[in-house]
A and B are shown apart, each in its own frame.
Chain A
Amino acid sequence: EVQLVESGGGLVQPGGSLRLSCAASGFTFSTSWMHWVRQAPGKGLVWVSRINTDESSTSYADSVKGRFTISRDNAKNTLYLQMNSLRAEDTAVYYCARNLADWGQGTLVTVSS
């Protein structure tokens, strides 16, 4: 059974940093493209970032480009999202997804003073 478990969310002040993790199991992580998607409270889904299997290719939404960095550790079956220079508008539940097919339950990030 595919399992994706996000962690690392919490309350952070504007301008601060946070690193999210997504622990994967039940499939061959090293051969799967992975995504981060977020959802602000009461709002729609927003695609954030994507990484290919060996980290040689990444892409980002314009709203996070230059502030967020996606990465992965295939030995640990874990996906990461390093978030810097956080803003109030980054407040959301962050989901990781495998090939946009399988999704985790999300982790809440709140940016507030």
Chain B
Amino acid sequence: QTVVTQEPSLTVSPGGTVTLTCASSTGAVTSGYSPNWFQQRPGQAPRALIYSTSNKHSWTPARFSGSLLGGKAALTLSGVQPEDEAEYYCLLYYGGAWVFGGGTKLTVL
């Protein structure tokens, strides 16, 4: 049973920078896992932010960036805005199947 692990919760101040990470129980996350990141606000459908590690969708704000960091996938928010308070999910590809992480609840305080 493959497990994808994210920080359960993080808190950041408005205007600050925060990095969310995504680890795989199978070992280091590489570009081959094609990491995706999604944002979900309460009561809303998920919104895609990042695909294939670091590529942004046309609607993704510039302050969001994706990378690989220390064997994990990472999502960095720079210049955090109050509207960034949400749940964030990573998604990894395991050769035919995809697995979501448990999500990180980001609080902007």
Contact = CB atoms under 8 A, between A and B. Distances in A.
What interface size band does chain B fall in?
20 to 34
B45 A103 contact: yes
A45 B46 CA distance: 9
Given A59-B96, A61-B97, A47 B48 contact: no
Contact of B100 (A44, A102, A106): A44
- Give chain B's interface secondary structure class: strand
- Give chain A's interface secondary structure class: strand
A103 B100 contact: no
22 contacts: A35-B98, A44-B87, A44-B89, A44-B100, A44-B101, A45-B40, A45-B46, A45-B91, A47-B91, A47-B98, A59-B96, A59-B97, A60-B97, A95-B45, A100-B48, A100-B91, A101-B48, A101-B57, A103-B45, A103-B47, A104-B45, A105-B45
